[in-house]
Amino acid sequence: MTATSYVTLDNDDLGANKIFRAATASALDTNPVAIAQRGTGAPWLNGVGAIETITSGSGNWTVPDGVYRIKVTVVGGGGGGYNGGSNGVDGGNTTFGAFTGSGGKAGNYSFGAGGAASGGDLNISGGTGYAYYSAVGGGSTHGYGGAMRTGGSDAGYGYGSGGAGGPSGSPANGGGGGGTAIGTMSVEPGDLIAYSIGSGGSGGSGSGAGASGIIIIEY
């Protein structure tokens, strides 16, 4: 099925003392369908016309012209891994307006807990760090969008993923994944929305660092 094309109407089509033509009537009938189907030339009422990502730092995001509603995904930083007495560092919180994805906890003598989330229509806790008590080493589970990592001393990967425990030592435990908040919000063009990206926590000696958080904005 091909989406209906949008027909732009101007002052020659509508207004006082204008002749109401068949073409104008047809456009008024089909344009709502074109908007619903996101047809060629149709205005965007609620994305996705663009996707932006913010992966570091803090500041204010400016709402673009013509945008009145956005969908936001916020992921906290992952916690660092642990290796036989050398603690990791917790991941940082990622925020965007009222949305918060809390950082995952670092691995320590036990595995790192996943970060919480708040403010979204859907709030997802990060995965708990994986635990090994052998020379095989530790691992980590992920926050939303990360990937499970088991074994080895590699850093966590995938935004918000916890860092892996060290390759040796007993115990070696992974850090928790960052929490994720997902939701929509009404905005006005030119609004400034404060944001901050949570950094991944550094790992203990020989262990992996957690991955940084991310903000995904769709409109």
Amino acid (one-letter) located at 131: A
* Boundaries of every domain in the chain: 1-43, 46-219
Q: What is the mean pLDDT of residues 67-81?
A: 90
- Lowest mean pLDDT, pick from 4-18, 91-105, 140-154, 186-200: 140-154
CA atoms of 74 and 92, how far apart (whole Å): 12
Q: What is the mean pLDDT of residues 56-84?
A: 90
In Å, how far are 85, 87, 137 from 108, measured between CA atoms?
Answer: 8, 5, 13
CA atoms of 22 and 108, how far apart (whole Å): 73
In Å, how far are 76, 164, 215 from 198, measured between CA atoms?
Answer: 5, 18, 10
Q: In 85-139, at which residue ranges do the beta strands (DSSP E only) sit?
A: 94-96, 99-101, 117-118, 122-124, 131-132
pTM above 0.85, yes or no: no
Mean pLDDT of the chain: 81
70, β-bridge pairs:
185
CB neighbour class for 6 (10 Å; exposed up to 12, middle 13-18, buried from 19)? buried
In Å, how far are 116, 164, 170, 199, 200 from 177, measured between CA atoms?
Answer: 9, 11, 22, 12, 10
The pLDDT tens digits of the residues spanning 134-176 come to: 443 334 443 333 333 333 344 456 788 888 777 655 567 888 8
pLDDT at 63: 93
53, β-bridge pairs:
216
Are 211 and 200 within 8 A, CB to CB? Answer: yes
